[in-house]
Structure 1
Amino acid sequence: MLTILPAAIAVSALAAIIADWREQRPPLFKLLKPLTTLLIIALCASAPDSAYRNLLLAGLALSLIGDVALMYESDRAFVTGLSSFLLAHLLFVYAFIHELPLAMPAYGWAVVAYALVFAALLLPRAPAPLRIPVLVYGLVLCAMGLAALLRWQSVGNDNSAYALAGALLFLLSDSALGVRKFFGFYRGAQGLILSTYWAAIALIAGSAQSL
C-alpha cells in the first residue's frame, strides 16, 4: 500500500497539471485535483494511529475543501478556500508543536523576514475587502513554518524533516498563488502552485508514518 500510494499520487498530480496546462479548468482537472488530495489523505490514514496523524488528517480534509473552492475564480470562492486552508494550517501548527517545548530557533527569523517582505509587496495590491483575510492567512502560514522548524529542532528525525520540508513548500506554493492572484498571470503559474502544494501536503502526510 505504501509503495503504491506515492506513485499514484505522483501520476494523479502530473495528470492534473497536464490537464490544466492552459488554465482552462477542464472537467478532467476538476476530477483529478480532489482525487490527488484524496490519495494524499489515504497516505496519511495508512500511518499508525496517533493524535499527530489524526490532526494531520483533519487538516488535510480542510485542504480538500480548499482545493475544490479554489477551482473557481470568484472572490467568494477565494475567501472560502482561504478560510479552509487557514483552519488546516492551524491544525498543522497544533500537530507540529503538540507536547513540545516552545522556543523558536534563531533561523526561524528567516521565515518571519520572508513573510514580512512578501506581505509588504502583496497587501497593497489586494482589494481592500481581502486585505485583512490575506494578512491573517499569511500570519497563520508563517506560524506553520515556524512550528515545523520547532518540531524539527526538538525531534530531529527524518519524519520531522518531512514536516519541515512540507511546511516550507506550502509557503512557496501559497506565495506563488498570491503572486498570480494579485500581481497577475505568469507563465507556468499553475504548474508551480500545484506541484509545490501537492509535494507539501504529501510530505506532511508522510511525516505521520513513523513517529
Structure 2
Amino acid sequence: MNEWSGLWLGWGGFSLLGLLWAEWQRRRALRALFKVLCSLGFLFFALSLGLASLFAQLVFAGLLLSAVGDVLLLFRSNRAFLAGLLAFLLAHLAYVGAFVQVGSPSLGGLLLVLLGGYFWLRWLWPHLAGWRGPVMAYGLVISLMLWVGLGVPKPQVWLGALLFYLSDLFVARERFVVQEPLNPLLGLPLYYVAQYLLAGAVR
C-alpha cells in the first residue's frame, strides 16, 4: 500500500460514515453525494494499487460496473432499479472472470452456496410478484460469484464476495419485504467493506 492508496482508503471510511449519517437523518441529497463519493473511493483505491494483471483489470471492471449500479439505485423508479440490477449482474460476471484466474471452486463451497440460495429464495419468493425472473437471474449470477470467490486463496476476495452477497439480502429486504432504516444501516457497510476488500485484492 502506498500513500495514495491510504488516502483513498481514508476517503472511503469518511464517505461511508457520512453516508450512514445521511441515511439515519433521511437526507436524500447528502445520501446521494456520500454514496457517489464512497463508490469513487473504491475505484481510485484500486487504481492507486495498479492494474497490471488480467485479474486486477477484471476486478476493476466489476468495481466500475458496481459504481454505475450504485448511481442507478439512487433513483426510485422500477426502470432505474432494473438497470441497476443489470449493472450489478455484469459486475458479478466480471468478478467471476477475475476469480477463475487465481482460484479453484470447491464442491464444499458449492453446497454452501446452494444452501444459502435455497433459504433466500424461499424467503423472498412470496414478495417478488413480477420481479421473480430478474431476481432469479441476478441471484444465480451472484451465487456463482460467491462460489467462485470462495475458492480464491486470498482473504480479501472470499471475504469480499461473502460480504457482497450478504449486503444484497438487505437490498432485497428493503425493496421487496419491508422498508426500514435497519436495511441500509446494515447493508451499506457490508457492501462498501466488500468492495474495498475486492479493490485491495488487485495488488
**Do both share a fold (TM > 0.5)?**
yes
CA distance in 2: counterparts of 1:178 and 1:148, whole angstroms:
21
Q: Which residue of 2 aligns with 1:141?
A: 142
RMSD, aligned α-carbons: 1.5
CA distance in 1: counterparts of 2:41 and 2:109, whole angstroms:
33
More helix by proportion, 1 or 2?
Answer: 2
Kindly report structure 1 stretches of 4+ aligned residues shifted beyond 6 Å: none
Q: Does 1:72 align with 2:72?
A: no
**What is the correspondence of 1:1-211 to structure 2 with a 5 Å cutoff?**
1-25=4-28, 27-48=29-50, 49-98=52-101, 100-101=103-104, 103-128=105-130, 130-152=131-153, 160-209=154-203
CA distance in 2: counterparts of 1:127 and 1:23, whole angstroms:
28
Paired AA for residue 91 in structure 2? A
Question: Conserved in 2, the CA contact under 8 Å of 1:144 and 1:167?
Answer: yes
Per-residue CA distance 1:89-136 (angstroms, 9 max, x = gap): 0000110012655x52414311220112101221221122x1111001
Residues matched between the structures, number: 199
Question: Conserved in 1, the CA contact under 8 Å of 2:66 and 2:91?
Answer: yes
CA distance in 2: counterparts of 1:192 and 1:125, whole angstroms:
21
Tell me, what secondary structure is at the counterpart of 1:2?
helix
CA distance in 1: counterparts of 2:23 and 2:67, whole angstroms:
18
Paired AA for residue 186 in structure 2? L
CA distance in 2: counterparts of 1:204 and 1:67, whole angstroms:
16
CA distance in 2: counterparts of 1:23 and 1:121, whole angstroms:
28
TM-score (norm 1): 0.89
Query: Percent identity among equivalent residues?
Result: 33
TM-score (norm 2): 0.92
Paired AA for residue 135 in structure 2? V
